[in-house]
């Protein structure tokens, strides 16, 4: 009886693990940037592990998240890459997309 209860509990736990979707990875903090029109933009707790296209091209970007990042001179994380470690700021650009490490 004890073995049957244990097996039932383990089976239930396994089914729960399979049934519950995994949460998306997000970086804690913000990516702040100045766009090519001079306006300040902010991405709060941006998703990590996927390319993010910026709403407007960035000419200055600060990475205040807990993840290292790379910015790209083209959309969809294409073109020349510039690394932006956490707590760092880069200037230049224009950058059109960003990728945060998982």
- pTM here is 0.75
Region of poorest pLDDT, from 9-18, 34-43, 63-72, 90-99: 9-18
Taking the domains of the chain in order of start, what are their residue ranges?
25-100
End-to-end CA distance of the chain: 44
Q: What is the DSSP letter of 67?
A: S
Going by pLDDT thresholds of 50, 70 and 90, the confidence category of residue 21 is: very low
Cα gap 31→71, rounded to integer Å? 11
Specify the length of the chain in residues. Answer: 102
Query: What are 45-93's pLDDT values in tens digits?
Result: 999 999 999 999 999 999 999 999 999 999 999 999 999 999 999 999 9
Please give the average per-residue pLDDT across 3-29, as a whole number: 57
Going by pLDDT thresholds of 50, 70 and 90, the confidence category of residue 20 is: very low
Cα gap 4→49, rounded to integer Å? 41
Cα gap 78→42, rounded to integer Å? 21
Q: CATH number of 25-100: 3.40.50.970, 2.60.40.1180, 2.60.20.10, 1.10.238.10?
A: 2.60.20.10
For the beta sheet containing 51-65, the strands, ordered from the edge strand earlier in sequence to the opposite edge, are 40-44, 29-35, 51-65, 88-100, 69-74, 78-84
Count Cβ atoms below 10 Å from residue 51 Cβ, excluding itself: 15
């Amino acid at each position: 009886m004890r073995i049957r209860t244990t097996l039932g509990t383990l089976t239930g736990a396994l089914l729960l693990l399979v049934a519950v979707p995994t949460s998306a990875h997000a970086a804690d903090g913000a990516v702040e940037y100045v766009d090519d029109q001079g306006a300040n933009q902010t991405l709060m707790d941006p998703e990590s592990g996927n390319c993010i296209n910026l709403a407007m091209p960035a000419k200055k970007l600060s990475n205040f998240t807990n993840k290292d990042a790379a910015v790209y001179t083209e959309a969809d994380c294409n073109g020349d890459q510039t690394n932006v470690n956490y707590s760092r700021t880069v200037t230049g650009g224009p950058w059109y997309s960003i990728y945060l490490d998982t």
